[in-house]
Amino acid sequence: MDKKSANNVILLDTQKDALDQASQDIATSGARLFICHVYEQGNRTHLAFSLTLKLLLEIARLNSADGKKNKSNAEEMMNRPLMQPHVKEIAKYLINTDDYILPPFIFNSDTPIKVFAFGNGPVKIGYAIISSDILLYITDGQHRLKAIEKAVIERPELYNDSVTALVVQENDLDQIHQDFADCSKNKPIPPALRASFDVSDLLSRITRDLSKELDIFKGRIDKISSTVGKDVNYIFTMSQLRIGVSEFLFGMSNKNLDSYAVEDRAVYQASLERAKSFYLEFARNNTTWSLLFHPPSQSNNLLNFYNLRQERIDFNSVGFIIISRIGHLILSENSFTEEKNSILIKALANLDYRRTCSLWENSVVIDDDKGGKKIIAQRAAINKALKVAIAEIEKQTGISLN
């Protein structure tokens, strides 16, 4: 097992032999004894430990570049600069989430760790001797470590939770940097999947529940892809639905419901019901959207969403943003009676959403120089179209939305 990086793994016949040898060693050296798994990966011996968070904070070391001091020599440090917003984000997650999960930490030790191991398989059990001269520097997990430091102040019970720590014995700084770079090669979760899976984010949770519980969306939201493209069976992606829902709830799409310090079930439920009510009433009053009340199996011959995207703006994300933002204006920024709400939503639903309608001309729809109409998704164009749509609704209903 003595491959690259000068490991000091001593293989013995039995667990008793390994424990006896390790106990004798720490009795004379004053070192600490840790149980670990020992295995080979990438021509190096790896040691995997389970550590309490209290112990993790005690033994972990950082060697991070400073964003100001190390601009010209960052490569001399083991890790990238700490990003405090990321630390705060993780700390907030640990404080507010009971069923949290933390990925394994990866450490580097440039000093060989003596391990008394036993077993015949590729993964062996070992007793590692960690003496005071062994420094365990974090290769991957520095933001999680600093976040734990913050979180335990508010949740001291976290000290008794544990994490997995992998120690790679390596003294080549270039290889340590490469290990960090390799750990960062995981592909981020696509926005659509994040909106489907991340139920700790209340906005994502509301979006997910709308996609499952609302007849007009059920079975018609693509929860994997980044775009619906030419697909005839799906209205929006999950991330597009999420943006629209954010516009409806907040009047903007750059703010999350997880801005609440603690998840509030009452706020969540009220927000969900308000969104359900609005989108259902809009669909009932719109001739095309009303077809969505038929299950997908019965409406496939009636609805071709690819064609609708070519003909209209409301089956594109820009149109959905406009509809949702005006819904926010009606239901959240004004205190109308139910009767006036109904009148305004009906007027919104009865706007002409065809690309050829003059309402959207030179804002979210422009000529493509080929005889067609091209949709523009820039925020300025959407805001311009919003003003036109609001003015038209006010003209039709005689009700001011300002």
| Per-residue pLDDT tens listing for the chain (402 residues) | 334 444 589 999 999 999 999 999 998 888 899 999 999 988 888 999 999 999 999 988 886 655 555 444 444 555 567 788 889 989 998 998 888 999 999 888 877 889 999 999 999 999 999 888 777 888 888 899 999 999 999 999 999 999 999 998 766 656 655 655 565 565 566 666 666 666 667 788 899 899 999 999 998 999 888 889 899 999 999 989 999 999 999 888 765 444 443 356 788 889 999 999 999 999 999 999 999 998 887 766 678 999 999 999 999 999 999 999 999 999 999 899 999 999 999 999 999 999 999 999 999 999 888 878 899 999 999 999 999 999 999 999 999 997
Task: Tokens for 317, please give them.
Answer: 């994300």
Task: Tokens for 1, please give them.
Answer: 């097992």
Q: Note the pLDDT of residue 135.
A: 77
Task: Specify whether the CB–CB gap between 16 and 111 falls below 8 A.
Answer: no
φ/ψ bin of 278: left (φ > 0), alpha (ψ from -120 to 50), beta (otherwise): alpha
Q: What is the spatial distance between Cα 91 and Cα 150, in angstroms, rounded to a whole number?
A: 6
Q: Note the pLDDT of residue 168.
A: 84
Residue for token digits 């507010």?
Answer: 96
Q: Is 14 helix (H, G, I), strand (E, B) or coil?
A: coil
Task: Specify whether the CB–CB gap between 312 and 353 falls below 8 A.
Answer: yes
Task: Tokens for 27, please give them.
Answer: 């009795």
Q: Note the pLDDT of residue 252.
A: 83
Q: Is 168 helix (H, G, I), strand (E, B) or coil?
A: strand
Q: Note the pLDDT of residue 187.
A: 59
Task: Tokens for 39, please give them.
Answer: 């295995």
The terminus-to-terminus CA distance of the chain in angstroms comes to 74
- What residue spans of 234-264 are helical by DSSP H? 238-250
Residue for token digits 């790679």?
Answer: 168
Phi, psi of 141, deg, nearest 5: 130, 15
Instruction: Return the H-helix or E-strand segment holding 211.
Output: helix 202-213
Q: Note the pLDDT of residue 80.
A: 60
**CA dihedral angle for residue 278, residue 280, residue 286, residue 292, rounded to 10 degrees:** 150
CB atoms within 10 A of CB 216: 19
Q: What is the spatial distance between Cα 210 and Cα 276, in angstroms, rounded to a whole number?
A: 7
Q: Where are the beta strands (DSSP E) in 184-237?
A: 221-222, 236-237
From the list 161, 149, 126, the residue with the least C-alpha distance to 57 is 149
SS3 assignment for 317-363? HHHHHHHHHHHHHHHCCCCCCHHHHHHHHHHHHCCCCECCCHHHECC
Q: What is the spatial distance between Cα 178 and Cα 300, in angstroms, rounded to a whole number?
A: 51
Q: Note the pLDDT of residue 261.
A: 35
Q: Note the pLDDT of residue 147.
A: 95
For the chain, the domains span: 8-183, 191-397
